[in-house]
Amino acid sequence: MKKGLFQEAINNIITPKSAPTESLEAIMAGKHKMPIAGPECDGCGDCSEACPSGAINMEGGWTVDIGRCIFCRECHRICSKGAMSLTDAPDFVLTRNDLVFTKDSPPVKKEDRIEREKLDVFGRSIFIREIDTGSCNGCEVEVTSLSNQFYDVERFGIKIVPSPRHADVLLITGPLTKNMSEALKKAVAATPNPKVVIAMGTCAISGGMFSKGEVVGEGIGEIVKVDMYIPGCPPPPDKLIRAILTAFGLFNERR
Is the residue at 230 inside a domain?
A: yes
Is the residue at 103 inside a domain?
A: no
Element (DSSP H or E) covering residue 171: strand 169-173
Q: Which long-range contacts link 209-218 to residues 24+ away (Cβ below 8 Å)? A: 209/52, 209/53, 209/70, 210/134, 210/175, 211/54, 211/68, 211/175, 213/175, 214/177, 214/178, 215/134, 215/175, 215/176, 215/177, 215/178, 216/176, 216/177, 216/178, 216/181, 217/176
Is the residue at 43 inside a domain?
A: yes
Backbone dihedral region for residue 61 (phi beyond 0: left; psi -120 to 50: alpha; all else: beta): left
Same domain, 128 and 200: yes
Same domain, 124 and 247: yes
Question: Tens digit of pLDDT per residue, the chain (255 long)?
Answer: 455 666 666 665 555 555 566 788 888 888 899 999 998 999 999 999 999 999 999 998 999 999 999 999 999 999 999 999 999 999 999 999 999 999 888 888 777 889 888 888 888 889 999 999 999 999 999 999 999 989 999 999 999 999 999 999 999 999 999 999 999 999 999 999 999 999 999 999 999 888 878 888 889 999 999 999 999 999 999 999 999 999 998 876 554
Could you give the number of structural domains in the chain? 2
- pLDDT score of 232: 96
Q: What is the pTM of this model?
A: 0.89
Instruction: Please report, for the domain that includes residue 76, its CATH number.
Output: 3.30.70.20
Separation of alpha carbons 218 and 176, rounded Å: 8
Instruction: Please report, for the domain that includes residue 121, its CATH number.
Output: 3.40.50.12280
Same domain, 182 and 71: no
Same domain, 215 and 157: yes
Residue range of the domain that includes 52? 31-90
Same domain, 122 and 76: no
- pLDDT score of 116: 87
Order the strands of the 63-65 sheet from edge to edge: 56-57, 63-65, 100-102
Is the residue at 130 inside a domain?
A: yes
Is the residue at 74 inside a domain?
A: yes
Same domain, 41 and 86: yes
Closest CA to 202 of 254, 118, 112, 135: 135
- pLDDT score of 42: 92
Is the residue at 148 inside a domain?
A: yes
Is the residue at 104 inside a domain?
A: no
Is the residue at 227 inside a domain?
A: yes
